[in-house]
Amino acid sequence: MFVDIRGYTSLVEQMEPAAVAARLNRFYDIATQAIFRHDGTLDKLVGDEVMAFFGAPLNWQDHSKRAVTAALEILRDVGALPEHDRLEIGIGISTGQAFVGNVGGKDFTDYTVLGDTVNVAARLQGAAAPGEVLISQDTYSPIAGGFPHARRRELDLKGKTDLVTAWEIARS
Protein backbone atom coordinates (compact mmCIF):
# COMPACT_ATOMS: atom_id res chain seq x y z
CA MET A 1 0.00 0.00 0.00
CA PHE A 2 1.15 3.49 -0.89
CA VAL A 3 -0.62 6.55 0.54
CA ASP A 4 0.40 9.94 -0.84
CA ILE A 5 -0.63 13.52 -0.14
CA ARG A 6 -1.80 15.36 -3.26
CA GLY A 7 -0.58 18.92 -3.83
CA TYR A 8 2.04 18.63 -1.11
CA THR A 9 4.69 20.76 -2.82
CA SER A 10 2.28 23.65 -3.30
CA LEU A 11 0.99 23.24 0.24
CA VAL A 12 4.38 23.42 1.93
CA GLU A 13 5.45 26.33 -0.21
CA GLN A 14 2.92 28.42 1.74
CA MET A 15 3.72 27.08 5.23
CA GLU A 16 6.41 27.41 7.87
CA PRO A 17 8.52 24.24 8.27
CA ALA A 18 7.26 23.61 11.83
CA ALA A 19 3.65 23.80 10.62
CA VAL A 20 4.48 21.38 7.80
CA ALA A 21 5.97 18.93 10.30
CA ALA A 22 2.91 19.18 12.55
CA ARG A 23 0.54 18.55 9.66
CA LEU A 24 2.62 15.63 8.39
CA ASN A 25 2.72 14.14 11.87
CA ARG A 26 -1.10 14.19 12.06
CA PHE A 27 -1.25 12.44 8.66
CA TYR A 28 1.42 9.90 9.67
CA ASP A 29 -0.41 9.19 12.92
CA ILE A 30 -3.70 8.53 11.14
CA ALA A 31 -2.08 6.31 8.51
CA THR A 32 0.15 4.31 10.84
CA GLN A 33 -2.60 3.71 13.40
CA ALA A 34 -4.91 2.32 10.69
CA ILE A 35 -2.11 0.15 9.33
CA PHE A 36 -1.27 -1.21 12.78
CA ARG A 37 -4.95 -1.82 13.67
CA HIS A 38 -5.11 -4.21 10.72
CA ASP A 39 -1.77 -5.89 11.40
CA GLY A 40 0.08 -4.21 8.58
CA THR A 41 3.80 -3.54 8.55
CA LEU A 42 4.92 0.05 8.20
CA ASP A 43 7.69 0.09 5.63
CA LYS A 44 8.55 3.76 5.23
CA LEU A 45 7.54 7.35 5.78
CA VAL A 46 9.01 9.24 2.83
CA GLY A 47 8.25 12.93 2.63
CA ASP A 48 4.51 13.04 2.00
CA GLU A 49 4.08 9.30 1.48
CA VAL A 50 3.46 6.23 3.62
CA MET A 51 4.42 2.75 2.40
CA ALA A 52 3.09 -0.34 4.16
CA PHE A 53 2.51 -4.01 3.45
CA PHE A 54 0.23 -6.73 4.75
CA GLY A 55 0.78 -10.47 4.92
CA ALA A 56 4.36 -10.36 6.23
CA PRO A 57 6.05 -11.11 8.49
CA LEU A 58 2.78 -12.80 9.54
CA ASN A 59 0.99 -14.43 6.62
CA TRP A 60 -2.63 -13.41 7.13
CA GLN A 61 -4.94 -15.18 4.67
CA ASP A 62 -7.12 -12.06 4.50
CA HIS A 63 -4.28 -9.59 3.89
CA SER A 64 -6.10 -7.98 0.94
CA LYS A 65 -9.11 -7.22 3.14
CA ARG A 66 -6.86 -5.87 5.90
CA ALA A 67 -5.05 -3.54 3.48
CA VAL A 68 -8.25 -2.23 1.91
CA THR A 69 -9.92 -1.74 5.30
CA ALA A 70 -6.89 0.21 6.53
CA ALA A 71 -6.91 2.33 3.34
CA LEU A 72 -10.58 3.19 3.75
CA GLU A 73 -10.02 4.13 7.39
CA ILE A 74 -7.11 6.39 6.40
CA LEU A 75 -9.25 8.07 3.76
CA ARG A 76 -12.12 8.53 6.23
CA ASP A 77 -9.97 9.82 9.08
CA VAL A 78 -7.94 12.23 6.96
CA GLY A 79 -11.24 13.53 5.56
CA ALA A 80 -12.52 14.09 9.10
CA LEU A 81 -9.67 16.42 10.04
CA PRO A 82 -10.63 20.04 10.66
CA GLU A 83 -10.76 21.93 7.37
CA HIS A 84 -7.54 23.86 8.09
CA ASP A 85 -5.69 20.52 8.52
CA ARG A 86 -7.44 18.53 5.79
CA LEU A 87 -5.29 16.86 3.16
CA GLU A 88 -6.10 15.30 -0.18
CA ILE A 89 -4.65 11.81 -0.51
CA GLY A 90 -4.48 9.05 -3.10
CA ILE A 91 -4.00 5.38 -2.23
CA GLY A 92 -2.80 2.41 -4.29
CA ILE A 93 -2.80 -1.26 -3.27
CA SER A 94 -1.56 -4.32 -5.13
CA THR A 95 -1.42 -7.96 -4.08
CA GLY A 96 1.05 -10.56 -5.27
CA GLN A 97 4.37 -12.25 -4.75
CA ALA A 98 7.17 -10.05 -3.44
CA PHE A 99 10.57 -10.33 -1.89
CA VAL A 100 10.26 -9.55 1.83
CA GLY A 101 13.41 -9.06 3.81
CA ASN A 102 16.48 -6.99 4.43
CA VAL A 103 18.22 -5.18 1.59
CA GLY A 104 21.14 -2.80 1.69
CA GLY A 105 24.85 -2.82 2.06
CA LYS A 106 27.48 -3.68 4.61
CA ASP A 107 26.67 -0.79 6.94
CA PHE A 108 22.94 -0.35 6.41
CA THR A 109 19.96 -2.64 5.82
CA ASP A 110 16.29 -1.95 5.42
CA TYR A 111 13.44 -4.43 5.95
CA THR A 112 11.20 -3.91 2.93
CA VAL A 113 9.27 -5.46 0.05
CA LEU A 114 10.40 -5.56 -3.57
CA GLY A 115 8.91 -6.76 -6.81
CA ASP A 116 6.46 -6.05 -9.57
CA THR A 117 3.45 -6.01 -7.27
CA VAL A 118 5.12 -3.29 -5.17
CA ASN A 119 5.76 -1.25 -8.31
CA VAL A 120 2.14 -1.70 -9.38
CA ALA A 121 0.91 -0.45 -5.98
CA ALA A 122 3.13 2.63 -6.31
CA ARG A 123 1.87 3.30 -9.83
CA LEU A 124 -1.77 2.83 -8.76
CA GLN A 125 -1.22 5.37 -6.02
CA GLY A 126 0.20 7.74 -8.60
CA ALA A 127 -2.88 7.25 -10.78
CA ALA A 128 -5.35 7.68 -7.91
CA ALA A 129 -7.20 10.97 -7.87
CA PRO A 130 -7.45 12.89 -4.61
CA GLY A 131 -9.71 10.94 -2.27
CA GLU A 132 -9.46 7.76 -4.33
CA VAL A 133 -8.36 4.21 -3.52
CA LEU A 134 -7.24 2.13 -6.52
CA ILE A 135 -6.54 -1.57 -6.09
CA SER A 136 -5.20 -4.26 -8.39
CA GLN A 137 -7.24 -7.18 -9.71
CA ASP A 138 -5.45 -9.57 -7.35
CA THR A 139 -6.40 -7.37 -4.40
CA TYR A 140 -9.99 -7.02 -5.58
CA SER A 141 -10.75 -10.68 -6.36
CA PRO A 142 -10.91 -11.99 -2.77
CA ILE A 143 -12.94 -8.98 -1.53
CA ALA A 144 -15.13 -8.30 -4.57
CA GLY A 145 -18.32 -9.30 -2.74
CA GLY A 146 -17.80 -6.46 -0.30
CA PHE A 147 -17.47 -3.89 -3.08
CA PRO A 148 -20.09 -4.72 -5.72
CA HIS A 149 -20.18 -1.12 -6.97
CA ALA A 150 -16.43 -0.80 -7.50
CA ARG A 151 -15.57 0.73 -10.84
CA ARG A 152 -13.24 -1.25 -13.11
CA ARG A 153 -10.56 0.70 -14.95
CA GLU A 154 -7.87 -0.25 -17.42
CA LEU A 155 -4.79 1.84 -16.73
CA ASP A 156 -1.66 2.45 -18.74
CA LEU A 157 0.84 2.56 -15.89
CA LYS A 158 4.34 3.87 -16.36
CA GLY A 159 6.83 1.07 -16.95
CA LYS A 160 4.19 -1.61 -17.53
CA THR A 161 4.00 -3.29 -20.95
CA ASP A 162 0.28 -4.08 -20.79
CA LEU A 163 -2.71 -2.25 -19.42
CA VAL A 164 -3.36 -2.97 -15.74
CA THR A 165 -6.85 -3.73 -14.46
CA ALA A 166 -7.60 -1.65 -11.41
CA TRP A 167 -10.66 -1.17 -9.29
CA GLU A 168 -11.74 2.13 -7.80
CA ILE A 169 -13.24 1.18 -4.47
CA ALA A 170 -13.57 4.59 -2.90
CA ARG A 171 -13.72 8.20 -3.83
CA SER A 172 -14.38 10.81 -1.19
- Say what the pLDDT of residue 40 is: 97
Q: Where along the chain do its domains lie?
A: 2-171
What are the residue ranges of helices labelled H in the chain?
8-13, 17-37, 63-79, 116-127, 137-140
- Say what the pLDDT of residue 26 is: 94
- Say what the pLDDT of residue 85 is: 84
Q: Angle at which helices 17-37 and 63-79 pack, to 10 degrees?
A: 140
DSSP annotation string for 47-89: TTEEEEESSSSS--TTHHHHHHHHHHHHHHHHHTS-GGG--EE
Distance between alpha carbon 91 and the CA centroid of its chain, in Å? Answer: 4
- What single-letter DSSP state applies at residue 158? T
Grouped pLDDT means (10 residues each) for the chain, 172 residues: 94 90 94 97 95 89 94 96 90 96 94 96 97 97 94 94 93 66
Residue 30's contacts (CB-CB under 8 Å, 6 or more residues apart) are 74, 77, 78, 81
The domain defined by 2-171 folds into Alpha-Beta Plaits (3.30.70)
